[in-house]
Amino acid sequence: MKMFESIKDQVKNAKKIVFVTGAGISQESGIPTFRGKDGLWRNYDAMKLATIDAFYDDPKLVWEWYNERRHNIFSANPNQGHKAIAELEKFADVVSLTQNIDGLHQKAGSTKVLELHGSIVKIKCTVCDFSDEIMTDFTENPPLCKCGSILRPDVVWFGESLPQDVWQEAIIHANQCDLMIIVGTSLVVSPANTLPIYAKQNNAMLIEINPENTEMSSEMDLVIRNTSANALPEFVSLFKNL
């Protein structure tokens, strides 16, 4: 319990815990981050592929990239960090606000997950309102909607707005929590990086779990320089011993 020794008494009173998670938590399941050393795909910058302009410039290339990512994600399993968050639901009201599109929180058993940036398994039409889930590869590339337009992954690309219903619900949870734990995110992507500010306005305690320094480390009540797979099971054990 040494990591959380200084705040264990305050944690006891936390009724609602909100997690804000990013690519770092899934990196431990073998899914590369955008910004890390594995954040390149062939000779392309992943951050440049994940834009609407890149998609319209070369939809075949972007779909090829997403098919490869989807295969990688489907073969990945939740790690101890994901599992700890799911287990914590036994002891408190827990909500996960995730920037990840991999579904590993749900795979681990978490029941309250808001996917701020969409999901790798969902598709939508670039023109009409068609949307669906896709678990297998398309026979054509790029795939076409019944209306004849190109289908795209139902994810939020750089420069696009978050789904407003999901974002408004995320703000409500951030405003209501007693404790917010920010895990594996660099807090550089807007507007998700404003969620800790909403929590702070509610006088919530902020804990950051990240091996590296982030944009908001100085604003945290507690900073754990470790991985989520190491730190979060220890955090859950605090509740088991209450």
Rg of the chain in Å (alpha carbons): 18
pTM here?
Answer: 0.92
Binding-site residues for Zn(2+) sit at 125, 128, 145, 147
Find the catalytic residue in 82, 105, 117, 173: 117
DSSP-based three-state secondary structure for 179: strand
pLDDT for 220 beyond 50: yes
> Is 131 in the same domain as 242?
no
Q: What is the DSSP letter of 161?
A: P
DSSP-based three-state secondary structure for 230: helix
> Is 12 in the same domain as 128?
no
Residue 117 known to be catalytic: yes
Instruction: Please name which of 228, 240, 239 lies closest in space to residue 82, comparing C-alpha atoms.
Output: 228
pLDDT in tens, 36-80: 555 545 567 776 788 999 999 999 999 998 988 898 899 999 999
pLDDT for 1 beyond 70: no
Between 7 and 168, name the one with better pLDDT.
Answer: 168
Decide if 69 contacts 38 (C-beta within 8 A). Answer: no
> Is 234 in the same domain as 194?
yes
Q: What is the DSSP letter of 221?
A: S
Binding-site residues sit at 66, 69, 99-102, 125, 128, 145, 147, 184-186, 210-212, 228
Tally the C-alpha atoms within 13 A of residue 229's C-alpha that lie toward its C-beta: 11
The CATH number of the domain holding residue 70 is 3.30.1600.10
**Residue carrying structure tokens 């290339």:** 61
Task: Give the pLDDT confidence score for residue 184 in this predicted structure.
Answer: 95
